[in-house]
Amino acid sequence: MQINKFINNYIIRCVLGVAICYLLYMEFPQYPPLSWSIVSVAIATAEDNDKKLAIDRMKANLLGGLVGLGLFFVPLAGLLLICIGVAVTILLGKFFKLDTCLRSAIAALVIVFTREEYAKSWIIALERVGCVLIGCLVALGITLCFDLYNKKGKRLTKF
Protein backbone atom coordinates (compact mmCIF):
# COMPACT_ATOMS: atom_id res chain seq x y z
CA MET A 1 0.00 0.00 0.00
CA GLN A 2 2.88 2.39 0.85
CA ILE A 3 4.43 1.84 -2.61
CA ASN A 4 1.16 2.79 -4.30
CA LYS A 5 1.00 6.01 -2.28
CA PHE A 6 4.60 6.79 -3.24
CA ILE A 7 3.95 6.15 -6.92
CA ASN A 8 0.70 8.11 -6.91
CA ASN A 9 2.30 11.11 -5.18
CA TYR A 10 5.25 11.07 -7.56
CA ILE A 11 2.96 10.82 -10.58
CA ILE A 12 0.79 13.67 -9.31
CA ARG A 13 3.81 15.90 -8.62
CA CYS A 14 5.41 15.17 -12.01
CA VAL A 15 2.18 15.66 -13.96
CA LEU A 16 1.39 18.83 -12.05
CA GLY A 17 4.88 20.24 -12.67
CA VAL A 18 4.82 19.37 -16.37
CA ALA A 19 1.32 20.86 -16.70
CA ILE A 20 2.36 24.14 -15.04
CA CYS A 21 5.43 24.49 -17.25
CA TYR A 22 3.45 23.56 -20.34
CA LEU A 23 0.86 26.21 -19.53
CA LEU A 24 3.66 28.76 -19.14
CA TYR A 25 5.04 27.64 -22.51
CA MET A 26 1.61 28.04 -24.14
CA GLU A 27 0.88 31.34 -22.41
CA PHE A 28 4.14 32.91 -23.57
CA PRO A 29 4.72 31.60 -27.11
CA GLN A 30 7.15 34.43 -27.78
CA TYR A 31 9.60 32.56 -25.51
CA PRO A 32 10.11 29.18 -27.21
CA PRO A 33 12.90 28.19 -24.78
CA LEU A 34 10.18 27.82 -22.12
CA SER A 35 9.68 24.34 -23.54
CA TRP A 36 12.94 23.42 -21.78
CA SER A 37 11.32 24.16 -18.41
CA ILE A 38 9.12 21.12 -19.03
CA VAL A 39 12.21 18.92 -19.25
CA SER A 40 13.75 20.66 -16.26
CA VAL A 41 10.73 20.17 -13.99
CA ALA A 42 10.59 16.48 -14.87
CA ILE A 43 14.27 16.05 -14.04
CA ALA A 44 14.15 18.18 -10.88
CA THR A 45 11.10 16.55 -9.28
CA ALA A 46 12.30 14.33 -6.44
CA GLU A 47 10.77 10.87 -6.30
CA ASP A 48 10.40 10.85 -2.52
CA ASN A 49 9.35 14.50 -1.96
CA ASP A 50 12.68 15.21 -0.27
CA LYS A 51 13.14 18.98 0.17
CA LYS A 52 16.93 18.75 0.41
CA LEU A 53 17.11 16.69 -2.75
CA ALA A 54 14.81 19.14 -4.55
CA ILE A 55 17.01 22.07 -3.51
CA ASP A 56 20.18 20.17 -4.46
CA ARG A 57 18.70 19.35 -7.86
CA MET A 58 17.88 23.01 -8.34
CA LYS A 59 21.48 23.93 -7.49
CA ALA A 60 22.76 21.23 -9.83
CA ASN A 61 20.53 22.41 -12.67
CA LEU A 62 21.72 25.95 -12.15
CA LEU A 63 25.34 24.74 -12.08
CA GLY A 64 24.94 22.80 -15.33
CA GLY A 65 23.15 25.73 -16.94
CA LEU A 66 25.83 28.20 -15.96
CA VAL A 67 28.61 25.90 -17.17
CA GLY A 68 26.75 25.59 -20.48
CA LEU A 69 26.37 29.36 -20.70
CA GLY A 70 30.06 29.89 -19.89
CA LEU A 71 31.18 27.39 -22.51
CA PHE A 72 28.97 28.99 -25.11
CA PHE A 73 31.71 31.57 -25.64
CA VAL A 74 34.54 29.04 -26.10
CA PRO A 75 35.35 28.66 -29.81
CA LEU A 76 35.79 24.87 -29.98
CA ALA A 77 34.04 22.12 -31.94
CA GLY A 78 30.68 20.96 -30.56
CA LEU A 79 31.61 17.46 -29.41
CA LEU A 80 34.84 18.52 -27.75
CA LEU A 81 33.12 21.42 -26.03
CA ILE A 82 30.25 19.33 -24.70
CA CYS A 83 32.71 16.72 -23.39
CA ILE A 84 34.63 19.47 -21.61
CA GLY A 85 31.31 20.76 -20.28
CA VAL A 86 30.37 17.36 -18.88
CA ALA A 87 33.77 17.02 -17.19
CA VAL A 88 33.66 20.54 -15.73
CA THR A 89 30.08 20.04 -14.53
CA ILE A 90 30.99 16.78 -12.79
CA LEU A 91 34.08 18.31 -11.15
CA LEU A 92 32.17 21.36 -9.94
CA GLY A 93 29.27 19.16 -8.81
CA LYS A 94 31.66 17.09 -6.71
CA PHE A 95 33.26 20.26 -5.35
CA PHE A 96 29.86 21.65 -4.30
CA LYS A 97 28.81 18.24 -2.90
CA LEU A 98 26.02 17.75 -5.41
CA ASP A 99 27.06 14.14 -6.11
CA THR A 100 23.52 12.76 -6.02
CA CYS A 101 22.33 15.34 -8.55
CA LEU A 102 25.01 15.17 -11.21
CA ARG A 103 22.59 13.76 -13.80
CA SER A 104 20.40 16.83 -13.33
CA ALA A 105 23.40 19.11 -13.77
CA ILE A 106 24.50 17.34 -16.95
CA ALA A 107 20.95 17.46 -18.33
CA ALA A 108 20.83 21.21 -17.71
CA LEU A 109 24.21 21.60 -19.39
CA VAL A 110 22.91 19.83 -22.48
CA ILE A 111 19.69 21.88 -22.49
CA VAL A 112 21.60 25.14 -22.39
CA PHE A 113 24.44 24.05 -24.62
CA THR A 114 22.32 22.59 -27.41
CA ARG A 115 22.59 25.17 -30.13
CA GLU A 116 19.89 25.81 -32.63
CA GLU A 117 21.36 26.12 -36.12
CA TYR A 118 19.17 29.10 -36.89
CA ALA A 119 19.99 31.06 -33.75
CA LYS A 120 23.53 30.82 -32.39
CA SER A 121 23.23 33.52 -29.78
CA TRP A 122 24.33 33.69 -26.19
CA ILE A 123 20.91 35.25 -25.45
CA ILE A 124 19.30 31.90 -26.35
CA ALA A 125 21.67 30.14 -23.94
CA LEU A 126 20.84 32.68 -21.22
CA GLU A 127 17.10 32.22 -21.84
CA ARG A 128 17.57 28.47 -21.49
CA VAL A 129 19.32 28.92 -18.14
CA GLY A 130 16.28 30.93 -17.05
CA CYS A 131 13.92 28.25 -18.33
CA VAL A 132 15.85 25.52 -16.53
CA LEU A 133 15.59 27.63 -13.39
CA ILE A 134 11.82 28.09 -13.91
CA GLY A 135 11.39 24.32 -14.16
CA CYS A 136 13.43 23.85 -10.99
CA LEU A 137 11.43 26.47 -9.12
CA VAL A 138 8.16 24.83 -10.15
CA ALA A 139 9.48 21.44 -8.97
CA LEU A 140 10.66 22.97 -5.70
CA GLY A 141 7.35 24.76 -5.17
CA ILE A 142 5.39 21.56 -5.72
CA THR A 143 7.72 19.66 -3.39
CA LEU A 144 7.28 22.27 -0.66
CA CYS A 145 3.49 22.29 -1.10
CA PHE A 146 3.29 18.50 -0.85
CA ASP A 147 5.60 18.56 2.17
CA LEU A 148 3.40 21.13 3.89
CA TYR A 149 0.29 19.15 3.00
CA ASN A 150 1.84 15.92 4.35
CA LYS A 151 2.87 17.63 7.60
CA LYS A 152 -0.63 19.07 8.08
CA GLY A 153 -2.13 15.64 7.42
CA LYS A 154 0.17 14.07 10.03
CA ARG A 155 -0.74 16.74 12.58
CA LEU A 156 -4.44 16.21 11.93
CA THR A 157 -4.21 12.46 12.42
CA LYS A 158 -2.47 12.90 15.80
CA PHE A 159 -5.52 14.52 17.38
In the predicted structure, residue 115 carries a pLDDT above the cut 80:
no
**What percentage of the chain reaches a pLDDT higher than 70?**
86
In the predicted structure, residue 32 carries a pLDDT above the cut 60:
yes
Q: How many CB atoms lie within 10 A of CB 131?
A: 27
pLDDT at position 128 is 83
Render pLDDT for 33-82 as a digit per residue (tens, 0 to 9): 788 899 889 888 877 767 788 888 889 988 998 998 888 888 887 788 88
* pTM (whole model) above 0.75: yes
What residues have CB less than 8 Å from 88, skipping those under 6 apart? Answer: 67, 71
Region 122-134: what's the mean pLDDT? 85
* Pair 113, 84: CB distance under 8 Å: no
* Pair 96, 55: CB distance under 8 Å: no
In the predicted structure, residue 126 carries a pLDDT above the cut 80:
yes
As a whole number of angstroms, the distance between CA 24 and CA 29 comes to 9
In the predicted structure, residue 145 carries a pLDDT above the cut 60:
yes
In the predicted structure, residue 117 carries a pLDDT above the cut 60:
no
Q: How many CB atoms lie within 10 A of CB 90?
A: 18
Domain boundaries, the chain: 2-158
Region 79-90: what's the mean pLDDT? 93
Region 87-94: what's the mean pLDDT? 96
Which DSSP string corresponds to 49-80? --HHHHHHHHHHHHHHHHHHHHHTTS-S-HHH
- Single out the residue of 124, 122, 72, 70 nearest to residue 92, CA to CA: 70
In the predicted structure, residue 1 carries a pLDDT above the cut 80:
no
